[in-house]
Chains A and B, each alone.
Chain A
Amino acid sequence: MAVETVAAVDRSETPVWVRTLLALAGTLAAMSVLVWAMGANPLEVARAIVVGALGNPFNIGQTVVITGILILTALAAAIPFTARLWNVGGEGQMTVGAIAAGVLGIVLPGTWSRWLLVPAVLIGSMVAGALYGAIPGWLKARFDASEIVTSLMLNFVAASMAAWVIFEVYPEGFVQRTKAIHVNSELPRPIDGSLIDIGIIIAVASAVIAWFVMRHTRLGFSIRAIGANNPASRLSGIRTDRVTVLTFLMAGAFAGLAGALIVQGRDHSLSQDFSANLGFLGIGVALVARLHPLWIMGSAAFFAILRVGSNSLQAGAGLSPVVGEIVIATFVILLMVTKVIKFRYPESVDVH
């Protein structure tokens, strides 16, 4: 018999938002020290990041595009994490989705209308990502194989597959990417002069769908129940195996969609090093949002600002963008230290 240790009542008396601010303050403090040690002005750094992400329509467009991608990779992490299934293969699932998008974008006839081609490629990427994500899920359900190890290893396998497609199957010639996808399979860019494409709409819609599934469907309930307490949920009739596989299928689909957004929306081809760790970053986004699909949108925007903005650090303040990565990691860790992000665990582990 297992009892939840962390009850709904917070043990600490300070409310969540205060602790979030604390974590933020702590991060800023630590970063200020680091930045100052590197010979730059922390306030300049902050200004550079904000301007770099939001200072002009072009930059805002960049930020919006990255936000969309992060929302999807965060969903790919958040849904399994809710069931305490540690999907760390989001990066690989995104890659497989991107491969599918790149290949379909080249192989499907370019003469099809945009209305047909764009959704076809998107759906293809979702399916590819879902199937790839289902592998660790199925291995876990069937063989109880650690999903951490399997999904992690599959990231590397996906990277190799991408390299093969880029260099052997559809090489472009001079550059380290595939041939361009057909124009009609590119995501439309509704706003003139900006790089924003409809990918953000797809991402937001996905978040809403995910929220709906988690909140209002039996599947969502099962996922949350499993996350709270595995043995009891099996007793109550939830088919853990099936839910596990479905969870990973969903996660893979979202990650695959993220890959499609990159290929169809941003790069218009499958290029090497396209992912820039956005898959792993999605895990951070999901955690900061406490695995809640709607909050993920805000969290993704925050991380996107940091990520895009830190690319202006050098122009604006003379620092390497790597500093931005440290900020992100520190912030998430501090959020956990201040218990803003926490997980529920059954107290007793003597029951197997």
Chain B
Amino acid sequence: MLLHGGRSKMEEQMRETKPRWAPRWLLLVSAIAMILAACAGETADTTTAATTAETTTPSAETTAPSAETTAPATDTTEAAGGEEYQVALIYPGTADDLSWSNAWWDGAAQAMEANPNISVESVELLNDPAAVVQQGSAFASEGFDLILIAHGAMVEPAHTIAEQFPDVLVCQLYNPAEGEEWAPNLCFFDIAQHNANFMAGALAAMVSESGHIASLNGFAFPALTRQPEAFNLGARCVTPDITFTQQYIETWTDTGIAKSATQAEIAGGADVVLSATDSAVFGILEGAAEADGQVWVVPSYYESQSLDPDHVMTSAIHGLTFASKSIIEAGAAGEIGESAFIDFDATNDPEIDAPLYDNIASMLSADQVALYEDILAKVRSGEIAIPDETTGDPTIGAEGAGAAIDPASIGCG
């Protein structure tokens, strides 16, 4: 019973002989395609990652107004003799992801604007230590002057690159321990990011109506943990008995998980949520937007009010842009010494901030606004001494520290 359009035996045999045609045909097409592509390719510019930044046209609603996101086109295939100071900036995200990496890139862009001899290459989406070693050394061997690694987990790769290329300056995010030694061309830097979280916490305590604030965190290591703990501590500076809950959501980027976690926190009573992750923050914003009541979100690293003015209470600006610009300019000016350690905190990094937006200020009383500004001033002057993760017991980098440390002991109230 032939229901299908029957194939005769001859057709079967013809099908069998098809393979003889196919390979030759494929070979011919491939050859033509290759020749065409090679010819066309030679006339195209060899571009750098700057092309990537240029072809994205961020729509007005999503670009933060105060930040520059376009990078001037740089040509790294020419090693301009001596004059040009070339930097490879390595980070886990992209130059325009409105988060951690974006903040670093903005500093680089500012450095380039202010100093025509500086050129920075954006090396994106690197999370694997081997890839960092390979990429870093690739740039180092192309004659780059500074390899700036804005990724906390790459200490070992930094050592490797520095040892392999003694003439290249390698700077890595890391807080070295007492007595630790490292290569002369390796520089470490640390940024007291949690200072901004402290400020945001103080503001959160004033804004929260339920008296319950929360934090959603990426992974539990001290450099990250200090952020939610400082948030809690800052809130307790204003309201000592504030309720604080937190979750480690074990991801930097999964917006679905972040949204679900936010919904759970809201159900638990929180109405201010700090984002101590990376681009997963967009899930948190979505969760806040879909909530029944008013829920506020505090994104980190980047000026984010324009993402959702009705739900962004403040942005925890960690001063990354300032740090980025400072390090690059110091490197270009030859000011970074041997085995240097550069420490940024609220006292020397003016960018560290948790800005008070107008719509939020209008919700607060004049006294509260004054109190907030007073706290900010004291943090910047050092009068309120927020510990870092190497001092104190428990250190601010330990889970629960924010609840254990007495606010009065650091200068609050």
Contacts and interface: CB of A to CB of B under 8 A. Distances in A.
Interface of A: 11-14, 18-19, 22, 25-26, 28-30, 32-33, 35-36, 39-44, 52, 55-56, 58-59, 62, 66, 160, 163, 167-168, 171-177, 195, 266-269, 271-274, 276, 308, 311-312, 314-318, 320-322, 338-339
A274 B133 CA distance: 12
A204 to B, nearest CB: 20
B377 interface: no
Given A42-B41, A167-B220, A311 B153 contact: no
A18 B30 CA distance: 14
B30 A338 contact: no
A320 to B, nearest CB: 7
Nearest to B41: A41
Interface in B24-58: 26-27, 29-31, 33-34, 37-38, 40-42, 44-49, 51-52
Contacts of A12: 19-20, 23
B135 A32 contact: no
B37 A167 contact: no
23 contacts: A14-B23, A22-B26, A25-B26, A28-B30, A36-B44, A40-B47, A41-B42, A44-B41, A62-B130, A167-B220, A174-B221, A175-B174, A177-B153, A273-B129, A274-B129, A311-B138, A312-B135, A315-B76, A315-B142, A316-B138, A320-B49, A320-B125, A322-B125
A32 B41 contact: yes
Contacts of A35: 37, 41
A308 B130 CA distance: 9
Given A14-B23, A35-B37, A172-B221, 6 more contacts: A28-B34, A36-B41, A163-B219, A171-B221, A177-B156, A266-B129
A134 to B, nearest CB: 27
B295 interface: no
Given A176-B152, A318-B76, A338-B23, A42 B222 contact: no
Interface residues of B, number: 63
Nearest to A338: B23
Given A12-B19, A28-B30, A42-B41, A173 B222 contact: yes
A39 B51 contact: yes
A35 B46 CA distance: 11
Contacts of A19: 23
A318 B221 contact: no
Contacts of A40: 41, 44, 46-47
A173 to B, nearest CB: 5
B134 A312 contact: yes
B41 to A, nearest CB: 4
B305 interface: no
A26 B26 contact: yes
Nearest to B55: A39
B130 A66 contact: yes
Contact of A171 (B29, B30, B47, B220): B220
A160 B219 CA distance: 12
Contacts of A267: 129, 156
A66 B41 CA distance: 30
Given A13-B19, A172-B221, A276-B130, A32 B138 contact: no
A160 B251 CA distance: 11
B123 A318 contact: no
Nearest to A69: B130
Interface in B146-177: 152-156, 160, 164, 174-175, 177
A276 B128 contact: yes
A39 B47 contact: yes
B127 interface: yes
Given A36-B44, A318-B51, A62 B134 contact: yes
Contact of A168 (B47, B125, B175, B220): B220
Contact of A314 (B45, B135, B219): B135
A311 B34 contact: no
Most chain A beta carbons < 10 A, residue from B23, B37, B46:
B37
Most chain B beta carbons < 10 A, residue from A26, A276, A311, A320:
A311
Most chain A beta carbons < 10 A, residue from B30, B48, B174:
B30
B56 to A, nearest CB: 13
Nearest to B160: A195
Nearest to B29: A29
Nearest to A38: B51
B235 interface: no
* In the complex, the 3 A-B pairs of residues with the closest C-beta atoms, listed nearest first: A32-B37, A12-B19, A311-B134
A316 B45 CA distance: 13
Contacts of B152: 174-176
A245 B322 CA distance: 58
B16 interface: yes
A185 to B, nearest CB: 15
A318 B48 contact: yes
A321 B152 CA distance: 21
